[in-house]
């Protein structure tokens, strides 16, 4: 078990341990009455928890509804109008509730609650614009990824389809009242590989009307030139969720992805996209992410995935496995945080060793994963020159972003 002093001194350790152990919410807490965000089951299964801000400004989404969380030794208490996390009765950290934006209570002109169109995950807007992933629709064979809750959540807190106008209305509200800088689109698999075509009208309108940063997370399209087109359109991030680097485990956990795409197609798309940085509009930054889940394969295998990704110029996005209610893996134990510390240490070190642009986007705090830069506290290595370079990039990018959004409509 991680020591109290380590958890108090290193917020990254606390963020990681809370992902793994979850937290109980004491009856003294009035999350929504105190301006916090309610718990929502949107299509991003990992967003099933309570959004809070840890010391050091680390935004997170702490599991609270799963059975392991209900037995956690961490408990959130309300104390003198503030919030504190205790472990077995000892104070660990004062935390803030992630603020619930005013637009969460608004509806679109078409009458949909705005939260069924998009939700904040940390400080960015996440949108799942199209129908449920086709891997959930195949019967009688089961082809959905076994950790995934997408097919369970649709229609619960998330609308089935969202028009471009509805999404743009929510983007405007989120920009004006929450100051978002980044919109992330996420799709599952659609037979016919229509996912990038579906996203294009949304991306074009956001770029034209708001000039915000936009990212696309979808399966790897067979026509790689589609990514040149996204790059030219001003998309800033593409992300490919291959989840697991061990081939046998990938096949077992992600049967649909294995049968339709295969791991190599994910890796080929990542390698291709990571080279597009120099081939698009210089005013639009570009990053390629490969997303993996720590806790579903041995840590050494996750570390191999991290090192492969950084070696080709991609930034790893590393989630922590959460055994979500109702999923095929509901009854699996969550991972052990101590076993994952080397994974997240390596995440930071590998990105720094390869000079990757981590932590440069303005006001992007992510609650669903540990960002590489958040893991600096897990490493003894300092990388002084790389830190100076990143700080300069961050300043320059913030100034350029402020200028261009000020000149948006
Ligand atoms: S591809 Fe897998 S993880 Fe993604 S939505 Fe479909 S079933 Fe879920």
Beta-carbon contacts of 247 under 8 Å, excluding residues fewer than 6 positions away, are: 263
What is the 237 CA–ligand 1 centroid distance (Å)?
19
The answer to whether the CB of 150 is under 6 A from ligand 1 is yes
Higher pLDDT, 278 or 108: 108
For 268-273, what is the mean pLDDT?
98
Site to probe by mutation for ligand 1, drawn from 47, 135, 191, 251 as the one with most ligand atoms within 8 Å of Cβ, is: 135
Q: Is the pLDDT of residue 153 over 80?
A: no
Which tens digit of pLDDT belongs to each residue from 201-260? 999 999 999 999 999 999 999 999 999 999 999 999 999 999 999 999 999 999 999 999
Q: Is the pLDDT of residue 43 over 80?
A: no
pLDDT value of position 406: 86
- 12 close to 315: Cβ distance less than 8 angstroms: no
The answer to whether the CB of 43 is under 6 A from ligand 1 is no
The answer to whether the CB of 189 is under 6 A from ligand 1 is yes
pLDDT value of position 228: 97
Sheet with 213-217, edge to edge strand ranges? 118-121, 124-127, 182-186, 213-217, 237-243, 287-294, 315-320
The answer to whether the CB of 188 is under 6 A from ligand 1 is yes
Atom of ligand 1 lying closest to residue 187 CA: 5
Which tens digit of pLDDT belongs to each residue from 341-383? 999 999 999 999 999 999 999 999 999 999 999 999 999 999 9
Which tens digit of pLDDT belongs to each residue from 100-119? 999 999 999 999 999 989 99
The answer to whether the CB of 220 is under 6 A from ligand 1 is no
The answer to whether the CB of 238 is under 6 A from ligand 1 is no
Q: Is the pLDDT of residue 44 over 80?
A: no
What's the gap between Cα 319 and its chain centre?
8
Which tens digit of pLDDT belongs to each residue from 66-82? 999 999 999 999 999 99
What is the 42 CA–ligand 1 centroid distance (Å)?
14
Which DSSP state fits 370? B
The answer to whether the CB of 258 is under 6 A from ligand 1 is no
**Residue nearest atom 5 of ligand 1, based on CA coordinates:** 188
The answer to whether the CB of 132 is under 6 A from ligand 1 is no
For 84-100, what is the mean pLDDT?
97
Residue 56 φ/ψ region, left for φ over 0, alpha for ψ in the -120 to 50 degree band, beta for the rest? left
**Residue nearest atom 8 of ligand 1, based on CA coordinates:** 148
Q: Is the pLDDT of residue 42 over 80?
A: no
Q: Is the pLDDT of residue 404 over 90?
A: no
Which tens digit of pLDDT belongs to each residue from 155-188? 555 556 789 999 999 999 999 999 999 999 999 9
- Asked if the bond preceding 140 is cis, omega within 30° of 0, the reply is yes
Q: With cut-offs at 50, 70 and 90, classify the pLDDT of residue 40.
A: confident
Q: Is the pLDDT of residue 95 over 80?
A: yes
What is the 267 CA–ligand 1 centroid distance (Å)?
17
* Mean pLDDT over each residue of the chain, to the nearest integer: 94
pLDDT value of position 197: 94
pLDDT value of position 131: 81
Residue 235 φ/ψ region, left for φ over 0, alpha for ψ in the -120 to 50 degree band, beta for the rest? beta
**Residue nearest atom 4 of ligand 1, based on CA coordinates:** 188
The answer to whether the CB of 148 is under 6 A from ligand 1 is yes
Report CA torsion sign: 253, 257, 259, 264.
Answer: negative
What is the 298 CA–ligand 1 centroid distance (Å)?
21
Q: Which two tokens stand for residue 107?
A: 């509806």
Q: Is the pTM of this model over 0.85?
A: yes
pLDDT value of position 19: 97
Site to probe by mutation for ligand 1, drawn from 148, 154, 262 as the one with most ligand atoms within 8 Å of Cβ, is: 148
Taking the C-alpha atoms of residue 321 and residue 308, their distance in angstroms, rounded to an integer, is: 20
């Amino acid at each position: 078990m991680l020591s109290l002093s380590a958890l108090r001194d290193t917020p990254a350790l606390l963020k990681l341990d809370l992902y793994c152990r979850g937290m109980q919410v004491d009856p003294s807490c009035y999350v929504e009455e105190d301006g916090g965000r309610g718990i929502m089951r949107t299509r991003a299964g990992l967003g099933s928890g309570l959004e809070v801000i840890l010391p050091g400004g680390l935004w997170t989404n702490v599991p609270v509804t799963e059975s392991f969380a209900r037995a956690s030794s961490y408990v959130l208490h309300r104390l003198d109008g503030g919030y504190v996390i205790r472990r077995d009765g000892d104070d660990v950290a004062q935390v803030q509730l992630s603020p619930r934006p005013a637009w969460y209570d608004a509806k679109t002109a078409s009458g949909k609650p705005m939260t069924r169109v998009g939700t904040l995950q940390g400080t960015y807007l996440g949108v799942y614009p199209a129908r449920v992933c086709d891997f959930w629709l195949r019967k009688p064979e089961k082809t959905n990824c076994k950790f995934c809750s997408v097919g369970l959540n649709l229609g619960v807190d998330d609308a089935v389809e969202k028009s471009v106008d509805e999404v743009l209305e929510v983007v405007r509200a989120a920009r004006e009242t929450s100051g978002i800088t980044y919109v992330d689109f996420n799709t599952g698999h659609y037979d016919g590989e229509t996912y990038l075509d579906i996203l294009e009208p949304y991306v074009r309108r956001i770029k034209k009307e708001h000039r915000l940063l936009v990212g696309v997370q979808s399966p790897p399209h067979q026509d790689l030139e589609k990514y040149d087109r996204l790059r030219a359109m001003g998309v800033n991030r593409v992300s490919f969720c291959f989840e697991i680097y061990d081939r046998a485990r990938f096949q077992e956990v992600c049967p649909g992805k294995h049968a339709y795409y295969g791991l190599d197609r994910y890796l080929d798309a990542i390698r291709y996209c990571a080279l597009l940085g120099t081939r698009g509009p210089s005013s639009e930054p570009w990053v390629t992410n490969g997303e993996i889940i720590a806790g579903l394969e041995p840590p050494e295998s996750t570390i191999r995935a991290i090192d492969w990704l950084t070696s080709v110029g991609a930034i790893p996005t590393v989630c922590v496995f959460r055994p979500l209610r109702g999923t095929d893996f509901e009854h699996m134990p969550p991972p052990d945080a101590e076993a994952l510390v080397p994974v997240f240490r390596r995440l930071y070190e590998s990105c720094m060793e390869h000079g990757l642009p981590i932590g440069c986007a303005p006001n992007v705090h992510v609650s669903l994963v540990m960002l590489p830069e958040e893991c600096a506290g897990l490493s003894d290595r300092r990388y002084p020159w790389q830190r100076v370079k990143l700080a300069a990039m961050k300043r320059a990018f913030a100034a350029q972003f402020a200028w261009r959004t000020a000149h948006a409509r």
